[in-house]
Amino acid sequence: MTMKNKTPRDISNIWDDIRPYRDDEIPDAMKRIAADKDFPKVIEYIYGPEKVKEKIAEFESYKTVCEFQEKFMDEAIKAIAKKTTTEFTWDGFQNLEKGKGYLFVSNHRDILLDAALLQIALHDEGLDCSEITFGDNLMQPGIVTDIGKSNRMFKVVRKGTTKDFFKTSLHLSSYIRYVLNERNTSVWIAQRNGRTKDGDDKTSQTVLKMFSLSGDRNIGTNFSALNIVPMAISYEWETCITQKVRELYLSQEHPYIKEKGEDFRSIMEGILSPKGKVHIQICEPITAEELLAAGSLDRNEALAYIASVIDNRIYSGYKLFNTNYIAFDMLYNTFKFTDKYTKEEYKNFADVMHATLSRWKESILPLMNLYLKVYSNPVLNKLNLE
C-alpha cells in the first residue's frame, strides 16, 4: 500500500501558515533534520548505534512525503511499539471505505503516539494515512516541527485574542473541510484541547464549534459532510502518568503553568515509557440519521447532543485492561472486578503506583486518588452506558 501525498501541485496558498509540507519542501526539511544535533540519538534508539551514519545518509535522500512516511515514520513507530508495548491491536476498520476522507475524533492520551499508532493501523489495513492536527505550542522551529510537518501534521493555533481566535478557528475549520471533502483525505483530531489528564474522555464543544464555522448553516447537514468517526485508544499503562497527576494536583490550588520544555519532555516520555497492551477501536461513523436530530435543536443543544454521541461511541469502544479494573476496585474499595485480574497483577499495579508517587514530597493519599481516577474513569464511563 502506498501512503499517498494527495496535495495538488497548484494548491492555494491560503493555508500555507498551517498546512503540512509539500513534496517540494521535503529535501530541505530532510537536510535540517539530519543536521540536528539531537537526531543521531533518535536514530540510535530506533536502529541501534551501528546504523546511525547509514540511516542519516539515507534520510537525506528522501524527496517526497511518501518516501519519508514509508521509509522512516512507519518503521520508526513500529520500532517504538515493539520496544514499549507488549501487544498492539486494532479493530473496526471494516467501518471505513477506501478513498473516502474521515474525520477521526479521538480521545487523547499521548501527544504523539495516539495519532502515530493510528497511521500504522491505517497503513497495514491498506488505507491511506491521515493528516494530523498538532498544537502550535509544539510546532516551534526545529526538528519536532520538521518531522511533524513532513509527516502530514498541520498546525492548530491555540492562543490570541477572542477576535484572533475566531479567525484562526474559521481558518482551521475551512482547511479541515477542504482536506476531507476536496482531497478525500482523512484527518485525526483530539476530542479536546490537550490530553485527557484524569482519564475522563469528554468531547469539547469548543472543538465542535470550530468544525461548524465552515460549511452549511444547518448544523445537521454541516456535520454530516464531515464524515465523523469517533476513535478510542486505550493504554494498559497510561503514558506520562507522573506529569498528568502532578498537573492535576497543582491545578487544584492555582492555574497550572507549564515549565519550559515540558511539552518536549512529555513527547519523549510518551515514546520511551512502557505501555503494556495498546488498542485502537475505530467506532461506527456518526450517521446522517443521527445528525438529523441535531438540525432541529438550537446551536448549543445541538453541539451538546453531538458531543454526547461521540463520547458514548468512545466509551463503548474503549478497551479496559486489568489496570483499569484494579484501579476502580482500589478507589471505590470494592471487589466488583476481582475476576478481571489476578492477585499478582493487583500487587504489581500497587507497587508501580507507589513507586511513581513516592518521588513526591506531598502526602501520597491525594496523589493516589488522582492516580487511580486516571485508570478508573474509563470503567465508570462504560458502566454509565449500561
**Rg from Cα positions in the chain:** 21
All domains of the chain in start order, with CATH: 88-319 (3.40.1130), 323-385 (no CATH)
> Which parts of the chain fold into alpha helices (H)?
26-35, 39-47, 52-59, 65-68, 74-84, 113-124, 143-150, 162-181, 205-212, 219-224, 241-250, 262-272, 288-295, 299-317, 322-332, 343-357, 364-385
Q: What angle do CA 152, 158, 163 make, to 5 degrees?
A: 125
> Which pTM was predicted?
0.92
Give pLDDT tens digits for 166-200.
Answer: 999 999 999 999 999 999 999 999 999 889 999 99
Neighbouring CB atoms inside 10 A of 18's CB total 20
The 10s digit of each residue's pLDDT in 120-179 is: 999 999 999 999 999 887 777 788 899 999 999 999 988 778 888 899 999 999 999 999
Give the pLDDT confidence of 56-74 residue by residue, as tens digits: 888 889 999 999 998 899 9
Write down the residue that cell numbers 498538532 correspond to.
134
